[in-house]
Amino acid sequence: MTNHELHTLLALDRSSLPEDGRPEFNRLIFSRSPYLLQHSRNPVNWREWGPAAQQEARSRNLPLFVSIGYATCHWCHVMAHESFEDDEVADILNHAFVPVKVDREERPDLDEFCMAACQTMTGSGGWPLNCFLKPDGTPFYALTYLPKEPRRGMPGFLELLENIAAVWQHKPDAVERNATSLMEALTRQSETGTPANQPDPYQLADQAARTLQRIYDPQHHGFGSAPKFPMPPYLLFLLHRSDPAEQQLALRSLQAMRQGGIWDQPGGGIHRYSTDQRWLVPHFEKMLYDQALVAYTALEAYALTDESTYLEMADHLLEFVLHELTAPEGGFYCGLDADSEGREGACYVWQKAEIEQVLGDDAATFCSWYGVTGQGNFEGTDEHVLFQAAPENPPPENLQELHQKLLTVRNKRPQPLRDLKILSGWNGLTIAALARGAALTGNQRWLEKAERAAAFITNSLIRSDGRLLRSWCNGNPSAIPAFLEDYSFLGWGLIELYRAGGNAEHLQQATLLCDQALQLFRQPDGRFSTSGTDQQPLPLCLPDRHDGVVPAGASALTLDLVLLAEITGDKNRLREADQVLQQLLPGLTAHPVSGLWLLRAALTRKRIDQR
């Protein structure tokens, strides 16, 4: 889908359309999610997730086929073109299943539940995420991308659908056994034993640091092999350690990202991850949360070292957000697609001849700096992902001018789709980064943009009863209540905004969000769930406890409580934070690296006592 097509669908008058959207559309035409609108012309009779879809599955005695993705997802597009736009696939989905499309960014709770089922069954996960559920929502089979027909050792999706439809009809006992076995496994995974004694957060932090040292890539930097993600929770944890050697792991990783193809060298912004170990060839989508958290990390590196390199990184990222992902109303959009012109990366890669034509006499110096040889480094073509090939050498003196010449040409290419959805939580992360930057540098523009975004969220995404909502798009808030991460991330953004600007209203709003989060998301056993107690429950409440590329919502809430206590001196806040830490810290005993944000909260809490 192009940006023009998305705007056309968003502006469409739906008042005269029939309930099912046919013949031109399906029911997804009534959605405001850009991802669901991408599928609104599929021949598949998609429904949105909810009681109506489950009731239809019950009445027709059919399984639910729940397909989960997001607007900027490359492999989601591939499967859509191969299967969901295909009449043969649509025919079996419409007759043998009740097909449901889900935007994972609107429903992180359902995504988390189905992802856990997929990882339990297959040992891996990803998007598109396709899950087969009984009408009551219990999963019995799950998988990620499959081609329509068998290919390169992969089974075909069409054949899989036929097999599952036959099993559902003729072997219901097998379906029930699979569902029971899977739910038992998920239940076991969700349970956490409680040690007799509370673990020492300093010992957990030392253990986590040793793990990060072990998985650190000494040659290319970052952590693990391929694919390689920025992982801001790892980097922030290391930057806040007292050991300079551990801090260097984070600093070198930041430098490697800045020099690599994962960084949009002429345009600014960071892509979602590197497909290789060298940070060279990225998966090209640009997500708001990556810009925010990598920018915040770079700002912390600048605060630690006073080296302008890291401030320049943060500036590149935040200015990219302000130029490319900012809505006229003041909030921040979710991200940019990986694809344009029907293929991934088309907007970003260059042939050497193109560069020579645009830059003329300056091309040789530019190509030397950015590793352009004519051989190509992208998917076996003569196209190049730009990267700093010799960062130890000084860049061309007129580099910014050369960048602008290339961007003038690049901006005339078909542009990646911009996901125009605004999420409360991801906006909170971006507000935090802008506010932290303003506090460190005195940049009033960043402060003003953060305040404007906060005002937009509080004015447009809070119901009359005070309940925060998840998302907003094209003038309309969704009806989906916000999740734990929304409360936690937005609370953090408002705390950073208070620190930067001193507006007591921001502190009051953060306090209210934390109080509501404790009421809405804490379960009777003390654990936290992704969705609130006022939302339709899934078959199993999975605890929100592990960081990923963003922190776990429960960990972020814990840090919010500690920061509020630190700022206000309120002993009640300390008691609340202590209660949460007492419940959550034991879950990190086996794998403390999975909860570094929580450890940061615990260590900050310890420092309050030591003052």
pLDDT in tens, 38-65: 999 999 999 999 999 999 999 999 999 9
Mean pLDDT of 188-215: 86
Mean pLDDT of 248-257: 98
Say yes or no: 499 and 595 in one domain.
yes
Q: Which amino acid is at 389?
A: A
Say yes or no: 268 and 377 in one domain.
no
Say yes or no: 173 and 273 in one domain.
no
Say yes or no: 242 and 267 in one domain.
yes
180 falls within a domain: yes
Lowest mean pLDDT among 63-67, 152-156, 231-235, 280-284: 152-156
Say yes or no: 183 and 224 in one domain.
no
Check residue 193 and give its pLDDT: 58
Q: What predicted TM-score, i.e. pTM, was given to this entire model? A: 0.95
Say yes or no: 406 and 425 in one domain.
no
580 falls within a domain: yes
Range list of β-strands (E), 497-551: none
Mean pLDDT of 75-103: 97
Written as one string, the DSSP assignment of 49-117 is: SSHHHHHHHHHHT--EEEEEE-TT-HHHHHHIIIIIT-HHHHHHHHHHSEEEEEETTT-HHHHHHHHHH
Q: Which of 386, 410, 434 is the last residue of a domain?
A: 410
Say yes or no: 297 and 361 in one domain.
no
437 falls within a domain: yes
Element (H, E) at 282: strand 282-283
Q: Nearest to residue 468, comparing CAs of 489, 440, 447, 449?
A: 489
195 falls within a domain: no
* pLDDT at position 196 over 60: no
| 535 in Cβ contact with 478 (< 8 Å) | no
162 falls within a domain: yes
CATH number of the structural domain spanning residue 49: 3.40.30.10
Check residue 189 and give its pLDDT: 83
Q: Nearest to residue 605, comparing CAs of 580, 570, 574?
A: 574
Kindly list the strands in the beta sheet with 471-473, ordered across the sheet, starting from the edge strand earlier in the chain: 286-287, 333-336, 418-423, 471-473, 476-477
Say yes or no: 375 and 462 in one domain.
no
- Domain housing 147: 3-189
Q: How confident is the model at residue 505 (pLDDT cuts 50, 70, 90)?
A: very high
Structure tokens at 36: 């669901």
* pLDDT at position 192 over 80: no
Q: If phi over 0 gives left and psi between -120 and 50 gives alpha, with beta otherwise, what is residue 270?
A: beta
pLDDT in tens, 299-357: 999 999 999 999 999 999 999 999 999 999 999 999 999 999 989 999 999 999 999 99
* pLDDT at position 600 over 90: yes
Number of separate domains in the chain: 3
383 falls within a domain: yes
Q: Which of 390, 410, 430 is the last residue of a domain?
A: 410
196 falls within a domain: no
Say yes or no: 169 and 294 in one domain.
no
**370 vs 378: CA distance, rounded Å:** 14
Say yes or no: 291 and 370 in one domain.
no
**Which pairing describes strands 64-69 and 98-103: parallel, antiparallel, or unpaired?**
parallel
| 595 in Cβ contact with 547 (< 8 Å) | yes
| 599 in Cβ contact with 211 (< 8 Å) | no
**557 vs 568: CA distance, rounded Å:** 16
Q: How confident is the model at residue 191 (pLDDT cuts 50, 70, 90)?
A: confident
Check residue 195 and give its pLDDT: 54
* pLDDT at position 574 over 70: yes
Q: Nearest to residue 218, comparing CAs of 245, 192, 187?
A: 245
Say yes or no: 386 and 465 in one domain.
no
Say yes or no: 335 and 390 in one domain.
no
**113 vs 121: CA distance, rounded Å:** 13
Lowest mean pLDDT among 22-26, 33-37, 606-610: 606-610
Q: Which of 165, 189, 213 is the last residue of a domain?
A: 189
CATH number of the structural domain spanning residue 520: 1.50.10.10
Element (H, E) at 39: none
Q: Nearest to residue 133, comparing CAs of 53, 189, 52, 78?
A: 53
